[in-house]
Amino acid sequence: MLLQRNKLGSVRPPKRCRSDMDNTSTSDIVIINGNSHPDLANMVAERMGLKNGGCSVFHKSNRETIVEISDSVRGKDIYIIQTGTKDANNNIMELLIMAYACKTSSARSIVGVIPYLPYSKQCKMRKRGCIVSKLLAKMMCTSGLTHIITMDLHQKEIQGFFDIPVDNLRASPFLLQYIQESIPDYRNSVIVARNPGVAKKANSYAERLRLGLAVIHGEQKEAESDEVDGRYSPPPTSAYSNLLGNSVEMCLPATPSSSRTRTTSVSVGVPEHPIKVKPPLTIVGDVNGRIAIMVDDLIDDVQAFVAAAEMLKDNGACKIYVLATHGLLSSDAPRLLDESPIDEIVVTNTIPHEIQKLQCHKIKTIDISILIAEAIRRIHNKESMSYLFRNVTLED
């Protein structure tokens, strides 16, 4: 290779052609995957013009997980594509062991591509339990992951549990495009939030599509926010309350009588919260003669969706669609959806659901591999990720 000198006599490196630059930019990328969603990993690798790295993940007879990486990962950027499925515990262990194997093999960086983060719904303290999402984040950081790419977290605040960067991608552009291109006469639609907790997301869809909004208030079963929190001890007995009140009064300094009159006390001990009484299902908004489109981030237990769809049908909705990012569809969800008045269920391929599609012909899939491939390319080339989050608001 000939070196050229400029007018000042310094050595100037030769110009490289475009193909050399492309080869250099992708030669140190290795994409590997576990057993959760190999089809998605292959699609991402194909879109990037790469071959899937040689990584074997299998289980011994005692159900221990074994990871064998056949290709060298020393000094390379590793992208582990592993999503959450119904077998969440095995998915997590496979991810942790793969990340630790790459760490001990001197990989330069290890990025976990987790389209659906398991245990993301357990992000709040309930009873005498724990915040499992926080525990999972600590385990991932300890295993050697240096970056996380995920999609539509159940709560955006989960990103704060991690000590490493987290990119929370959005699938809403794909779902919005599906509404505009695949739902006939979508201008006659109304976006429906099946409970007040999804109202912000539904409002974001309604504003972007310039459609009306309806909210279903009241539920047949308890919501997450209505679960009884058993951490509180039972209220003290009346005798103990009197003793406690007398001891407090003895400890209080003497105050003028005018101050005492402004202080209200209770004589029954510690007051308890009144019991919540959920009203029956009611719709706030007009759906008569219109297409109802319910939006959410996850479809798992579909009984709430079916109950909402039946009410929408009773109130005159002509067609009912359900759109969500993650289609976990556990238990007998396909059968319930097939027998429900829902006309179409649209989910992305963040979670494999081919078996469920065979059981229910109403399920449609949107491919989001191009978004993951673009995120990987931008992170590897140290480009800004803001392009993928353009026009994103706090409601999304």
Residues 338-394: tens digit of each pLDDT: 999 999 999 999 999 999 999 999 999 999 999 999 999 999 999 999 888 887 776
The percentage of residues in the chain with a pLDDT greater than 90, rounded to a whole number, is: 69
Least confident of 38-47, 76-85, 124-133, 281-290: 124-133
Least confident of 39-48, 158-167, 219-228, 318-327: 219-228
Query: Is residue 268 very low, low, confident or very high in pLDDT (cuts 50, 70, 90)?
Result: low
Angle between helices 172-182 and 199-209 (to 10 degrees): 50
Domain segments of the chain as ranges: 29-169, 172-220+280-366
The reply to whether domains 29-169 and 172-220+280-366 share a CATH topology is: yes
Residue 101: is its pLDDT beyond 60? Answer: yes
8 Å CB contact between 110 and 80: yes
Q: Is the alpha carbon torsion for 352, 358, 361, 362 positive or negative?
A: negative
pLDDT tens for 156-168 read: 999 999 999 999 9
Q: Which residue has the higher pLDDT, 390 or 81?
A: 81
Residue 7: is its pLDDT beyond 60? Answer: no
Q: Is the alpha carbon torsion for 38, 40, 41, 42 positive or negative?
A: positive
Structure confidence at residue 21 (pLDDT): 37
Q: Is the alpha carbon torsion for 44, 50, 51, 53 positive or negative?
A: negative
Q: Token pair for residue 44?
A: 């991402």
Structure confidence at residue 277 (pLDDT): 78
CATH number 3.10.450.50 is the correct assignment for the domain at 172-220+280-366: no
Angle between helices 132-143 and 88-104 (to 10 degrees): 30
Please name which of 76, 84, 77, 80 lies closest in space to residue 67, comparing C-alpha atoms. Answer: 80
- Kindly report the average pLDDT of the chain as a whole number: 86
CATH topology of domain 29-169: Rossmann fold (3.40.50)
Q: Which residue has the higher pLDDT, 18 or 158?
A: 158
Query: Is residue 290 very low, low, confident or very high in pLDDT (cuts 50, 70, 90)?
Result: very high
Looking only at the bridges linking them, the beta strands covering 147-151 and 344-348 are unpaired
